[in-house]
Amino acid sequence: MRTYNYNEFTDDFSMILDLALSEDVVIKSKEGINYRLIPVNENKIGKSPFEGIKGIKANVSTQELVEIIRQGRQEN
């Protein structure tokens, strides 16, 4: 995580926005309040919304999973 003060942020705005695409960026305001800079459209740059989520091993076949999902949709 990188932290920038307000002046650094305004001086290097474009570079810091680009950096926020690949790592955590915090901006510290003149009042001392920290703000985390999070890109809104990060999925549009090729990242999966599931990036960083670990999978689990489940003893369920694809067909069973499809049936469970269909049943859930019919109930709602």
Domains contained in the chain, CATH given = 1-42 (3.40.1620.10)
Sign of CA dihedral 6, 8, 10, 15: negative
- Within the chain, where are the H helices? 6-11, 13-19, 62-75
Residue for token pair 């859930």: 72
Tens of pLDDT along 22-60?
899 999 999 999 999 988 865 556 667 787 788 888 899
From CA 22, how far away is CA 39, in angstroms rounded? 10
Confidence of residue 14 (pLDDT cuts 50, 70, 90): very high
